[in-house]
Amino acid sequence: TGSKLKRQPGSEKRPWNVHQPDNRCWNNEKCLNVGCSSSEVARVGSLDRLQPLCPVEGRFGGARSQVELPLRALQFKRGLLHEFRKGNTSKEQVRLHDLVQQLPKAIIIGVRKGGTRALLEMLNLHPAVVKASQEIHFFDNDENYAKGIEWYRKKMPFSYPQQITIEKSPAYFITEEVPERIYKMNSSIKLLIIVREPTTRAISDYTQVLEGKERKNKTYYKFEKLAIDPNTCEVNTKYKAVRTSIYTKHLERWLKYFPIEQFHIVDGDRLITEPLPELQLVEKFLNLPPRISQYNLYFNATRGFYCLRFNIIFNKCLAGSKGRIHPEVDPSVITKLRKFFHPFNQKFYQITGRTLNWP
């Protein structure tokens, strides 16, 4: 009811809605229940669960300080904000006076079909991270960009000042105007690029387009016909799925505006099989205290992917469209594509300082 949740002396039982994956909050830090009266909760009908507050060290781009952040602030706020926007409750009742809409301090700029959604959802496990739920397409869409930076800010989720907002729009990576536009907003922003083995990524890209065509009962060319120029029998670099997988070409354009130190490369293939080590590297890059643990990630044998565990009640798996079955592709085409991408991959390793396990 707004009172602090305290562990009873000699009791090992934890409050039902309190859980810290790495136990540091419970053992060494003070956890507080969200300050909301029972009458206020009753008015917020869509609020699925209360979440505890827990001190999180705020180190993103500033001095080290102890601040209180919600363990799952986003899940809590979304229910409150939904009611607030419908006019069902006041700003004071839902305690929005401490919340702000911040411009992102980090952006997942790509790559399409590299695992951007999975990365964003997994980073959202961290109590100091608040995600923008939708792809905003501010920097790559001229019409949106013309609406100005305040329009962009208002598309951001509410968060506490000590939290960081992250958005993702994979089209940013390959769109020519985007690096300069982001630089003008924030020249010190941190940029995340999640990549997969280029040939696999290109086939995944094709598969998504193919599925869209099939839903509309439209026919579509086979991958082999699109990826290989029928006149020269060479790789067709005019095919967008191929061009997108030439990572170094796009990265070089970004490096005209940002130093390589402001980029972090995420191994999208490893994020599928071993997500925790990749997420820990991102936490370090973003100067966030380590909070995501193995508890937050569990393998779903039915889906064949890792799912997310926010607390003892709330679990989440990515949409069913993730992990689509790829069509069979002629092995000779795969070999030709991998040979084509190889020199670009080597240059990508050299520029980024990260060597990936690609054939």
Domain boundaries, the chain: 24-98, 101-352
Can you say whether the dihedral through the CA atoms of 288, 294, 296, 300 is positive or negative?
A: positive
User: Among 167-181, 187-201, 213-227, 335-349, which is the least confidently predicted range?
Assistant: 213-227
Least confident range from 85-89, 149-153, 230-234, 254-258: namely 85-89
- Residue 54, pLDDT score: 37
φ/ψ of 339, rounded to 5, equals -65, -40
- pLDDT of 318: 76
pLDDT digits (tens, 9 = 90+) for 229-238: 999 999 999 9
Give residue 76's pLDDT: 57
Q: Please check if 113 is assigned to a binding site.
A: yes
Q: Other CB atoms closer than 10 Å to residue 101's CB: what's the count?
A: 15
In the structure encoding, which two tokens stand for residue 73, read together?
A: 């602030």
Residue 322, annotated as binding a ligand: yes
- Count CB-CB contacts under 10 A for residue 285: 18
- Select which of 77, 105, 113, 168 is catalytic: 113
User: Is 323 annotated among the ligand-binding residues?
Assistant: yes
Q: What percent of the chain has pLDDT over 90?
A: 56
Q: Is 243 annotated as a binding residue?
A: no
For residues 150 and 294, the model is more confident at 150
Is residue 44 very low, low, confident or very high in pLDDT (cuts 50, 70, 90)?
very low
Phi, psi of 112 (to 5 degrees): -50, 135
Is 347 considered catalytic here? no
Say which range, 39-43, 159-163, 253-257, 297-301, has the weakest mean pLDDT.
Answer: 39-43
Is 116 within any annotated ligand binding site? yes
Three-state secondary-structure class, residue 72: coil
* Beta carbons within 8 Å of 63's beta carbon, 6+ residues apart: none
Longest dimension (CA), the chain: 79
Average pLDDT of the chain, as a whole number? 79
**What percentage of the chain carries pLDDT values higher than 70?**
70
Residue 86 marked in a binding site: no
Decide yes or no: CATH 3.40.50.300 for domain 101-352.
yes
186-195, 200-209, 324-333: least confidently modelled range:
324-333
The string of pLDDT tens digits covering residues 253-284 is 999 999 999 999 999 999 999 999 999 999 99
Residues 6+ apart with CB under 8 A from 327: 203, 206, 207, 210, 222, 223
The residue assigned the tokens 């009172």 is 3
SS3 of 213, please? Answer: helix
Instruction: Give the amino acid at 308.
Output: L
